Amino acid sequence: MFIVAGKRLEYRWIGQAQSGRPVLVFLHEGLGCVAQWRDFPDRVAQALGMSALVYSRAGYGGSDPIALPRPVDYLNQEGCVHLPALLDQAGIDKAILVGHSDGGTIALVAAGDEGRQQPVDPRILGLVAMAPHSFVEDLCVEAIAKVTDIWRQSDMRQKLARYHQDNVDCAFHGWNDTWLRPEFKHWHIRDFLAAIRVPVLVIQGEDDEYASLEQVTIVRDLVPGGAQTLVLPQCGHSPQKDQPDQVADAIIAFVSALMPAAG
């Protein structure tokens, strides 16, 4: 396992990393982990003839647990500190990030981190953000509050435990409780978006229960070079599950266009 910030991280390689060749790095959602991606990363990586790294952040899946509560800026820390450290340990010098929900946010943060000597980590060549959060919307908070009731009144915990094992409470409360804290409503990543200098593809479902299409608009408008966008009908918060064919095709086309410049 990789060790980042003192925590062992679960991961899975798809294919073999080749020196000088870009690697797809998949970043999961707020209740996700390696296993919950299923075979979607394999499908995309194989179609592109690329290697891929899929990992579980600390507090999820088979990775080490974390202390709760999470800090309000936990997504910023993942993008600014933990993801770069993971790329270091994995020996990845060229990466294309593919993130979903919280993972999409982390990808945007990593590509626009102004805390480094240069505004963009030179290893990040581009990114795909599926249903990312760039600011907190009331409808998202309301949807997450409803999940709290589902957690308490259903077998949701048992279902999630299949993926997170002993981390199940850590995974749920680390996400749910943080988003419902009053101070979290003021969190946003507008400054990070304005610092991104690499190609971006944003994918979101029209029926996303956690976000309005303002989440697409803000990325398109604030990223200096703009962003490609794909809004899918009959699609909720998990495009890769609701519309896997269209999403895979869009990612493959986007990444293929980057490859000549990537070398």
* DSSP-assigned beta bridge partners for residue 124: 95
- 263 lies in some domain: no
Q: List the CATH number of the domain containing 7.
A: 3.40.50.1820
As a 3-state breakdown, the chain gives helix, strand, coil percent values, each rounded to 5, of 45, 15, 35
Distances (CA, A) of 64 to 158, 182, 201, 259: 19, 28, 31, 34
User: Which band of pLDDT confidence, cut at 50, 70 and 90, is reported for residue 1?
Assistant: confident
Query: What share of the chain has pLDDT > 90, as a percent?
Result: 92
pLDDT at 262 over 90: no
Q: By residue range, what is the domain housing residue 133?
A: 2-257
Q: How crowded is residue 13: how many other Cβ atoms within 10 Å of its Cβ?
A: 14
- 149 lies in some domain: yes
Give the number of domains in the chain.
Answer: 1
pLDDT tens digits, residue range 34-86?
999 999 999 999 999 999 999 999 999 999 999 999 999 999 999 999 999 99
pLDDT, average across residues 237-244: 98
From the list 171, 129, 120, the residue with the least C-alpha distance to 147 is 171
- 143 lies in some domain: yes
In this prediction, residue 16 carries a pLDDT of 82
- 154 lies in some domain: yes
As a whole number of angstroms, the distance between CA 11 and CA 2 comes to 8
pLDDT tens digits, residue range 99-115?
999 999 999 999 997 65
Phi, psi of 230, deg, nearest 5: -140, 115
pTM: 0.96
